[in-house]
Amino acid sequence: MSTDVMPPQQVEKPYRTELRELSRLALPIAIAQGGQALMGLVDTLVVGRAGTSALASVGLGNGLFFAVSGFGMGLMMGFDPLLSQAIGARNFARARALLWQGGWMSLFAGLVLAAVLLLSPALLPLAGIGPAEVAGATDYLIWRAPSLPLMLAFLTMRSYLQSTAFTRPLVVATVAANVLNLGADILLVFGGQVLPAYFGPVRDVIPAMGVAGSALATSLCTALQLGIVLAAVRKRGLEGAGTRPTRMPVWPDLRQAAALGLPIGLHIAAEIGVFAGAGVLAGGLGPASVGAHQIAISFASVTFTVAMGIGNAGSVRVGWAVGAHDTPRARLAGFTAFAGGAAFMALGALVFALFPEALARLAGAPADVLPLVVPLLMVSAVFQVFDGVQGVGAGVLRGAGDTRFTFLANMVGHYAIGLPLTLLLGFKLGLGVVGIWWGLCAGLVAVAVALLWRFHRLSAGTLRPLEA
C-alpha cells in the first residue's frame, strides 16, 4: 500500500478571486470610460494647435457641456443598481424591461438638457469671459448639444451591457469612435487642405470649421458608439427573458429610476460644476490660465475615467451580491474595488509627477500656457489617489442602492471646503490658477474619506435589494 501523502489542495483566498473577477469586468469598462476621456483629450490636442483662444473656447464649451450633461449622466445611472440587482437575482425579464425604460428616460432628459445647454453660454460674460471665447464656446455647443440624447442612450446601453457582463461591444464602440474622432477632428477643425494633394477637389469642399468642427466630430462619434452597442444588444438574446417587455413608458419604473438617479445626477453636476466653475474662474485670469486648466483637466480626466470604470465594475459586483442577498460578498467586492482604483490612480500620480513638462508639450501647450500647465499637473499628481477613491466610492455605494449620501458628501466636500479654499488661494493669496487647483484638491480629499467611511458602515450591516 502506498504511503505517499497527497499535498493539501490549495484554496484560493476570497479576495484574490474577487480581484480577478473584478479585473475581468473592470478592464473593458475602464477601456470604454477611458476612451470617452481620450476623445476629449484628442480634441484638446488638435484644437491647441489652432491657438490659445480656440483652446480656451473648447475648454469653456466642454466644461459647460459636462456641467449640464453630468446631471443627465447621473440620472441614467439610477438604472445601474436596478439592473445589476435584477441580474444578481436572476430576474432577466426585469432587466430587459428596465433597458426599454432607460431608452425613454434618455430621450426625455436629453431633449430638455440639450435646450438648457444651448442657453448656457449667456452666463459666460457674467464671469468676465472675453467675447471671442464666448463666441467660440457658443459655436462649440451648437454642434455638440444634439448629441446629448444620443450620449444618454449610450449610457443606458452601457449600464445594461456591464450588468450582464457582455462588455465587448463597449470596447469595439470606443475604439471605433476614437479612430473616427482623430481623423474627423483634424479634418473638420483645419479643413480639407490638410488632406494630401491627390484628393484633388475634395480638399476645397470641406471648410475649416475650427472649434465647431471639433464639436461636430465628437457628435458623430457619439452616434457611431450608440449604433454599435444598439446592434450588439439587438443581436444578443437574454437567457430566461420570458415574456416580451412593454416598449411604452412605464411611469412607476421611471419614477423609481429617477428617485435613485436624481441624487447621482446632482452629485455629478456638483462635482463637474465645481471643476467647470474653476475653468470659468481661470478664464477670468486670462486665456493662458484657462488653456492651462483645460490641458491639465484633460489629462486628469483620462486617469479618472479609468477609475470610474473600476467603480462601475464594483457597482455591478456589489449589485449582483446584494441581489443575491449576500452582504459579505458585497463588502468584499466593494473594498476590492476601492483598492484597485487607488492602485491605478497611484500609477497615474507617478506619471504626472515625473513627466509634467513632457505631457504639457505633448498637448501642444503654447509658450504662454506651458509654464502654467506643469504646476497644475503636479497638483493633479497629489490628488490622484483621492480622486480614484471617491470615484470608486460613488460606484460601490450605487451598487448597494445608496445614492443620496454621495450627493451630500460632494456638496460638503466641494462647496463647503473646496470652493472657499479655491477662492482664498487663487485670488486672496494671489496663487492664480495653481491656487484654484489646490482648492479642488482639498475638496476631493474630503469626499474620498467620506465615501470610504460610508461604505464601511453600510456593509457592516445587512444590504437589502431595492426591489426586495
Give pLDDT, residue 405: 94
Q: State pLDDT tens for residues 58-89.
A: 878 887 887 788 889 889 988 988 898 888 88
Structural contact between residues 62 and 81, judged by C-beta atoms closer than 8 angstroms: no
Q: State pLDDT tens for residues 107-117.
A: 999 999 999 99
SS3 313: helix
Question: For residue 382, what are the contacts with CB-CB under 8 A and spacing of at least 6?
Answer: 349, 441
Which of 115-129, 297-311, 449-463 has maximum average pLDDT? 449-463
Average pLDDT, the chain: 84
Give pLDDT, residue 10: 44
Q: State pLDDT tens for residues 161-179.
A: 888 888 889 889 999 999 9
Residue 431 φ then ψ, to 5° = -85, -5
Query: Quick one: cell of 395?
Result: 460606484
Which of 192-206, 251-265, 288-302 has maximum average pLDDT? 251-265
Q: State pLDDT tens for residues 344-353.
A: 999 999 999 9
**Spans of all domains in the chain:** 15-233+248-459
Torsion angle, alpha carbons of 408, 413, 414, 420, to 10? 130
Give pLDDT, residue 237: 63
* pLDDT band (50, 70, 90) for residue 245: low
Query: Quick one: cell of 3?
Result: 504511503
The 10 Å Cβ neighbour count of residue 115 is 12
- Give whole-number Cα distances, 317 to 64, 332, 334, 335, in Å: 33, 9, 8, 11
Question: For residue 35, what are the contacts with CB-CB under 8 A and spacing of at least 6?
Answer: 174, 175, 177, 178
For 107, the enclosing helix (H) or strand (E) is helix 92-119
Give pLDDT, residue 93: 82
In this structure, which amino acid lies at residue 117? Answer: L
Q: State pLDDT tens for residues 6-54.
A: 444 444 567 788 888 888 888 888 887 777 767 777 877 788 777 777 7
Which of 224-228, 233-237, 305-309 has maximum average pLDDT? 224-228
